[in-house]
Amino acid sequence: MIKEIKNGGILSPKGFLADGVEAGFKQSNKDVGLIISEVPANCAAVYTTNQFQAAPIKVSQDSISQEGRIQAVIVNSGCANACTGEQGLQDAYETRKLISQKFNIDEHLVAVASTGTIGVNLSMEKIIKGIEQLNPSNGAEDAVAFQTSILTTDIVMKTCCYSAEINGKTVTMGGTAKGSGMIHPNMATMLGFITTDVNVDQDVLQTALREVTEKSFNQITVDGDTSTNDTVFVLANGKAENDSLTKDHPDWPVFVKMLQLTSESLAKQIAKDGEGATKLIEVEVKGAKNELDARMMAKQIVGSNLVKTAVYGADANWGRIISAIGQTSAFVNPDNVDISIGSIEMLKNSVPVAFSEEVALQYLKGDFIQIFVDLHCGEAVGKAWGCDLSYDYIKINASYRT
């Protein structure tokens, strides 16, 4: 049985330390953070599909490709080090080297991540200042320090933790993430860090992360934009001392479920904290011909600006939902679609159903809105998450650099 640890996080698994410090990238907050494992950890990672991948991604890809293990991840916020040419790449490699030297670990065991403004060169003076201050430990305050250091326009920290028994050993998985704007399927301006003390082969860990990402991080959208720096890391250091997991292990499904729960929790927290957001929207599409159709349609609905603004205004305008459905390439029978907002049925077999506008208004005033669609075309189900679109989103992004 998988249990949620309410007050847990990235330092709940055995053998991980963290810290976050203030180096001057942001006006007045922590902006350089570090996660470090006591031993090299098998590592899996997924990255943005944006063609302009930032320098830190290239360095992390280089590190992981050498033996599939990572011992430390250094991250800064306030500067993305993206679209910064050869100098940006050199700076990212130099950051990796500085962490290697301070903590006496091989350079290829260090991954690098950055988030913030695009097109600005990384201040190595600030990076050096931050690294000099880093003193990672495993207390609750150290986890909070790291979580604070990765935030940009985020309002809240995102964190979660789960435990289970695998191979007779108690194993733990914790996660934290940042992301608020430039959030869209196929990653976003987000960084995710997942730690676990599970002993798991690196190749199947990578496969599992890719598969889980499709149903979690790639199913959220805030504003339809993808960024240059998005990365999710999973570090598995084996400190739980279970037999190494492969797909043939009887407890493999337990591990995959833990990874799914962790990723989905972080993804939903990101969607809820969308820039200017007041409500989390969850769309569930069932009765699709296949899972891809279901997931793509759910993303189309939750990503519709007209749907998002209707939810913000507490307007039960199901016509905007049906319009979004019709824009997808998924197979649809236009004569047999059901739509409900919450428990309020609004369309049955593509025929409008009378409902109370007052009851719908009260439901839509809440901070968690569910939209259900049944296509009656098959058995597949898909979900996606997003947020409403408010006036504050424009205010935040109109003055992002100022």
- Active-site residues, by number, are 189
Q: 262: closest CA among 232, 291, 228? A: 232
Residue type, 239: K
Which three-class secondary structure state does DSSP give residue 262? helix
Sorted by sequence, the CB contacts under 8 Å of residue 313 that are 6+ apart come out as none
Between helix 202-215 and helix 252-272 the angle, nearest 10°, is: 40
Task: Give me the sign of the Cα torsion angle 7, 9, 14, 17.
Answer: negative
Q: 376: closest CA among 330, 341, 344? A: 330
Between helix 291-303 and helix 305-312 the angle, nearest 10°, is: 60
- Which three-class secondary structure string do you get for 99-158? HHHHHCCCHHHEEEEEEEECCCCCCHHHHHHHHHHCCCECCHHHHHHHHHHCCCCCCCCE
Tokens representing 232 are 């999710």
**Cα–Cα distances in angstroms (integers) from residue 38 to residues 2, 104, 176, in the given order:** 25, 12, 19
**Cα–Cα distances in angstroms (integers) from residue 14 to residues 163, 170, 281, 295, in the given order:** 12, 10, 35, 35
Q: Rounded to whole angstroms, how far apart are CA atoms 25 and 357?
A: 49
- Residue 86's Cβ-count burial label (10 Å; 0-12, 13-18, 19+) is exposed
Sorted by sequence, the CB contacts under 8 Å of residue 68 that are 6+ apart come out as 42, 43, 202, 203, 206
Residues 338, 345: contact at Cβ < 8 Å? yes
Residue type, 23: A
